[in-house]
Amino acid sequence: MSTTEPTARIPASLRTEALEQLLTERGLVDPAVMDKFIANYETNVGPLNGAKVVAKAWTDPEYKKRLLDDGTAAIKELGFAGPQGEHIVVVENTPTTHNVTVCTLCSCYPWPVLGLPPSWYKDPAYRARVVKEPRKVLSEMGLDLADDVEIIVRDSSSEVRWLVLPERPAGTENLSEEELVPLITRDALVGVAKVQAP
């Protein structure tokens, strides 16, 4: 690889690994502490938590009501809380209404239930375009919605972070909460995709 190659062309995973190695060699980072942070975001914080929230809502009508009434409190019931999760509002997608989230100012995102935001969520093009032409942006991301489906763009901020409760797909009525969890993706929780039946 040439030293003049722009860093944007080097995969993020390689850049991250190189940075971690450099910080470790200089004694600025303890590898054990770094591994603990990485494990935390892979297992304790992230889209798996959001999937558990949705699966619980799909299988427990009383929990679903609490989730839609006070997202933050209902999410805390499952043990998911922390920075960037102080005020989460949950909105439900239906056959006639589709919610999609964005942060037009920066990249506010409900970390306790979605982990760190993906690069496309932080991209200025997504942040600007999804507000102006949401149907076109969703289509470009692989989600084509019927013309009669109303699209509502929810703008996250430091005061409120949005989480989408996606539609439960047909054919999953007999699946348990545990069986539903693997079907629910981060993109469905942001609103740029639908949950697919197995």
108 is catalytic: yes
Residue in 137, 136, 130, 123 with CA at minimum distance from that of residue 153: 130
158 annotated as a binding-site residue = no
Identify the active-site residue in 13, 103, 139, 157. Answer: 103
In the set 2, 13, 107, 119, the catalytic residue is 107
139 carries a ligand binding annotation: no
Task: Establish whether 139 is a catalytic residue.
Answer: no
* 158 DSSP assignment: S
Q: Does 108 belong to an annotated binding site?
A: yes
Is residue 197 within 8 Å of 172, Cβ to Cβ?
A: yes
Cα-Cα-Cα-Cα torsion 186, 189, 191, 192, nearest 10 degrees, comes to 10
- Is 119 designated active site? no
Could you tell me the CA-to-CA distances from 121 to 85, 100, 141 in Å, in that order?
A: 17, 11, 12
Any known ligand binding at 157? no
- Active site residue: 2, 13, 106, 156, which one? 106
- Residues flagged as binding site: 103, 106-108
In the annotated binding site for Fe(3+), the residues are 103, 106-108
Catalytic residue numbers read 103, 106-108
